Amino acid sequence: MFGDLFEEDYSSVSNNQYGKGKKLKAKPLEPPAPREFTNLSGLRNQGGTCYLNSLLQTLHFTPEFREALFSLGPEELGSLEDKDKPDAKVRIIPLQLQRLFAQLLLLDQGAASTADLTGSFGWTSNEEMRQHDVQELNRILFSALETSLVGTSGHDLINRLYHGTVVNQIVCKECKNISEKQEDFLDLTVAVKNVSGLEDALWNMYVEEEVFDCDNLYHCGTCDQLVKATKSAKLRKLPPFLTVSLLRFNFDFVKCERYKETSCYTFPLQINLKPFCEQSELNDLDYVYDLFSVIIHKGGCYGGHYHVYIKDVDHLGNWQFQEPDMNLKALQNEEDIDDPLTILKAVLLQENNLIPVDQLGQKLLKKIGISWNKKYKKQHGPLRKFLQLHSQTFLLSPDGSTVSLQKQPSPQTESDFQGNGQQILQMLAAKSPGSNDNTTRPHWFDINDSKVQPIKEKDIEQQFQGKESAYMLFYRKSQLQRPPEARANPRYGVPCHLLEEMDEANMELHMKRTECDSANNNIELHLHMGPHYHFFNGALHPVSCQTESVWDLTFDKRKTLGDLQQSIFQLLEFWEGDMVLSVAKHVPAGLHIYQTLDGDELTLCEVGIADGEDIFVWNGVEVGGVRIPVGVHCEPLLLRVLHLETGSDGKRRGQLVESPHVFPASAEVGTVLTALAIPEGVILTRSGRSAGEESWTPVPQEDMRRTFREHGLKDGSSVLVRDSYSDDSSLLPQGGKWITGTNEIDWLEVKNLCQLESEEKQVKISATVNTVVFDIRIKAIEELKLMKELVENSCLRPIDRNGKLLCPVPDSSTLKEAEVKLRSSLGLCLGKAPTSSQLFLLFALGSDIQPGTEMEVIVEETLSVRDCLKIMLEKSGLPGDAWHLRKMDWCYEAGEPLCEEDATLKELMICSGDTLLLIEGKLPSPGFLKVPIWWHQPQGPSGRWESEDQPHGSPAQGGSWRAASTQGVPGHVPAEVSLLYLGDIDIAEDATLVDLKSQARSLPPASKLAVPGPALLRAWTVENKRPGRLLRADRRELKEYKLGRTAAICLEPLQREERLGPLDVLLRTQMRVPGQRAYAPAVDLVWDTARGSSAGALRQTVADSYALPVEKTEIAKYFPEKFEWLPISSWNQQITKKKKKKKQDNLQGAPYYLKDGDTIGVKNLLVDDDEDFSTIRDDIGKEKLKQMALGKRHSREALQAQNSDIFSSTGTPTRPRGPEASLSIHVGSFR
């Protein structure tokens, strides 16, 4: 990451470079890891699919759902091999779901991939990285499955397992007439706010009655009058599997923000639903349900993480809840437990005296509940080494794969120990919670993406409240019994073709793991042959070329040193005498031996031999007749020795020279004088005096016998030698220390960016941290052979790692003062550098700037904001004074405006390198707002403006039409919103909305539009060039709306005065034209959510508005920024009746988030049964979005390529954007 921290050329000492440039061994792609001790498989997270993983695991652990899906064969669903054939009807989603379930059951991998399944959904990488709501996914996935299974024997799969009904009744207290309405549900959505738990919520919904009396009477059709009545709801039909969605997310209408309800909300492990159902003759046990899955959400309302607690009904997993720490504490006082010899002997006797070494540790963990590494390794070493050291007790096979006990001296001794060992293991088993009989206890697991671990049933209580709490509950009827053959049998119910596919996949995985295991255990060793080396200048060096002296050997690290030695013998044709293997390492001085390897029976892994290790092969004593020092204490050090140059006459000159010398780390410091043939002298070492400063400290005479290591010297350290008789004036004593004028020499790279031709494009300039920038610039101009005129009109600018030019460096600064790092790059550019009292600023026009479009300016830091604005306007050629400045923040967006125009840049803490943005519009006075006013009028059937006072399509004076063209598109379609700019108004923050409307009517363009009075004007904020938030309550002050300084308002004319309540939602409904992909003009619809905010309530309101039967009405929400329609499913009908209380929100939450101004498409199923809601304009818009995305990608690539050509680096990073998007699953038609 950081490159070579110390890199020098030591060619004068050693030409041996084989220690550098080693190639990394390319490891094979590792296969997925096998399942862990739970024997269950998780699901890999694709980036944001934890919500999907949690729901899929719940469906997988619903055996009835899984087996019903498995019962559908290829003759009904088709085959995945035929999915690309044009005429084949392949139901990809259920096929991929089958395959995923088979992998979760049978494939030996720790986590399965959902990529194929999400691919069948039609999802791209963007959807896989974006998190959605799991309750929303549950409904959409069931809808997709129902559509996919049309025409098969599984067409009623979802309906049969999850469908239930609720009946709403109103009873007249006069004639006792009962009015009923039945509604279907696939999941029950229950309230969390102000409710203690699930049973309390169900009681409020299905037991309490709502009374109609006093001012709220009910009109009875039988009595034909307003009467007192009671309204209630009951569960009429219960499904085999009950899904409960908890309304954890709510909206605070005071703060205008969403929040998560984290209060305590209890739910039982078993629930009796009889009190909430209609009276029937069913057995009481038919109403009892058991909890088997809890999907948990951790985080807030804008993001978080999902995982799931699941009950393993079929006992497919290994549920052993181990607590090693408790075992360790319980066994600390047992003398036999502390003796590993006793424990291992007992385990071997119980396992018939023979066991693979790899399995011995697992058996030990299973018997005593604690691993060897945790209990014994610190004191007794690795398990294999312990067995080898106790060869009188344990007998290892020749290949070291199995272990058994040596024969005991007498049968009586063996019998006694066997009985004692059995007693010890029984005592351990009794204390190990993992070894208890778990067959009757419920098996619960926490499945968190790819991680699966057992939990206790009582752990569910921790999810009652908090930021990490239950979000969805899944219950199953207690009477549902599983067949005995399904217990602990993952192959039960799996089709034969999937069994064969999984068996083949497991065989392939086994082969890949074997190959990968072999590859991972093979290491590369570099064998240095002693006869081909000689000892020179304190280190080993090859006699001839490297190829003859160094051999590369691939070896299994699980084999022993004896095996390695035997392999080397076989490679060599001849070796005389003993062979000793030693670990060597490359140092700047050459090759040095650090450690001799002993213990032929130890494996390379136990000895600590790493991949790429250098092994020196020799006799262990000498090389070429020279005894070789071994060990870290005598490591050769390559030092930089600075001393006065010696002339041809033997006299020392005044110039300092540097020469490399090698000394053993254990040698005395005084040997430096001997090496330089100086009889007497002073040795100085470099030390840090303070941050960024260095000094030379003399070595006292009494410390001259201390070693280099004791003085803290290492490779690359500098030593300064001063002759005692020298009168060198460059070395002056200061405060007892010797300060030198010489610094560590380094370099800077200067690139020619002056747009002038030269022979060199870049040069390296020698420099130190104390070098002045002016000197570097002058030297760069000379070496680049540029014109001398550049001396007065050029500057140096640092180049960052992205290739961007930073602000110029002042000529008078040193590199240290300018914070320029050595070995970095500078650009030589035209223009003078700023002085210490000047600022170098970047500025750009508008808030949406593109990288590389900024302009530059140098100004005095005492300049006022007003004067700075004038300079920038003049340089950019912009007329007028209706502009202001904003500072760009850290995320490349326009920040707060610089309101104090008389303040200096220094006072506002504007620094060199900051970017200022020129924004059109003069800033208002304090306490006032400058609000742009736009005119918005709905379009007619032709897509044009309808105005009596103005010709169609002609712009008003002072403004411009912003209408999207609709030529070539038949009929009226949801188009881009057309806004007409009327002008800006200055208005006080404490003015009311009525005042704003009145002042807007006085704008000149408004007089030509016949703008009505304030009571007939509807006000919206402008967001993304379309109406955004509806502003209600005309008498409310503007500051209460929290508009901000950049808000814009658009006004819409009304035919009559409207009074919207706080819970009313203003929607634009459009009826689809039968037989055409077009819509009739939009009609305003006021939806009173106080009467219900569910899909059923909205559908009823729309049906009443268009006088249509509610069952023949289909509705969908339009997302104009994506040109997509999202059908509003009938499954979103929520029954949340509470006495004297308002109903809970539904469509105002995920995934629809209905708000004022949303467009609702309406379809009459009596005359139009087409499932498609889209229009031709949507197709065109999607294609434009696709082309825009492609164009932006090409622009980024071109910019990166351009920066790469100029600066040899990547482009400037762009701002990340993550718009909120709805969730959808694309399904083919199988009708």
Exactly one of 50, 277, 754, 807 is catalytic; which is it? 50
Exposure of 328 in the CB half-sphere (CA atoms within 13 A): 11
Q: Is the dihedral of CA 651, 657, 661, 667 positive or negative?
A: positive
Cα 607 to Cα 557: distance, rounded to the nearest angstrom:
10
Give Cβ neighbours of residue 773 (< 8 Å, ≥ 6 apart). Answer: 796, 809, 810, 811, 812, 813, 814, 815, 818, 820, 833
What DSSP designation does 28 have?
A: P
Cα 1190 to Cα 497: distance, rounded to the nearest angstrom:
42
Q: Are 1113 and 160 in contact (CB under 8 A)?
A: no
Cα 612 to Cα 115: distance, rounded to the nearest angstrom:
37
Give Cβ neighbours of residue 677 (< 8 Å, ≥ 6 apart). Answer: none
Q: Are 438 and 27 in contact (CB under 8 A)?
A: no
What DSSP designation does 1212 have?
A: P
Cα-to-chain-centroid distance, residue 191: 32
Neighbours of 810 (CB within 10 A): 20
Is 711 noted as a catalytic residue in this protein?
A: no
Length of the chain: 1231
Exposure of 684 in the CB half-sphere (CA atoms within 13 A): 23
Among residues 1140, 1064, 1144, the alpha carbon closest in space to that of 214 is found at 1140
Cα 549 to Cα 527: distance, rounded to the nearest angstrom:
8
What are residue 396's phi and psi, to 5 degrees?
Answer: -90, 145
Q: Tokens 């790469």 correspond to what residue?
A: 1204
Give Cβ neighbours of residue 322 (< 8 Å, ≥ 6 apart). Answer: 369, 432, 433, 434
Spell 844-860 as b/e; 16+ CB within 10 A means b: bbeeebeeeebeebbbb
What DSSP designation does 285 have?
A: G
H or E stretch covering 504: helix 496-521
Neighbours of 609 (CB within 10 A): 21
Give Cβ neighbours of residue 707 (< 8 Å, ≥ 6 apart). Answer: 665, 666, 667, 668, 669
Q: In 332-370, where does DSSP find H-type helix?
A: 335-338, 340-350, 357-368
Q: Are 1211 and 1196 in contact (CB under 8 A)?
A: yes
Exactly one of 223, 301, 305, 541 is catalytic; which is it? 305
Spell 644-653 as b/e; 16+ CB within 10 A means b: beeeeeeebe
> What would the DSSP string read from start to end of 215-266?
TS-EEETTTTEEE-EEEEEEEEE--SEEEEEEE-EEEETTTTEEEE--S--B
Q: Are 652 and 646 in contact (CB under 8 A)?
A: yes
What DSSP designation does 1016 have?
A: G
Rg of the chain (C-alpha set): 41
Is 305 noted as a catalytic residue in this protein?
A: yes
Q: What does the CA dihedral 584, 588, 589, 593 come to, rounded to 10 degrees?
A: -10
Give Cβ neighbours of residue 471 (< 8 Å, ≥ 6 apart). Answer: 134, 135, 245, 246, 248, 295, 296, 297, 306
Helix, strand, or coil here: 337? Answer: helix
H or E stretch covering 35: none
Q: Are 687 and 738 in contact (CB under 8 A)?
A: no
Among residues 240, 291, 270, 308, the alpha carbon closest in space to that of 40 is found at 308
Cα 290 to Cα 281: distance, rounded to the nearest angstrom:
21
Quote the tokens at residue 537.
């200048």
List the catalytic residues: 50, 305
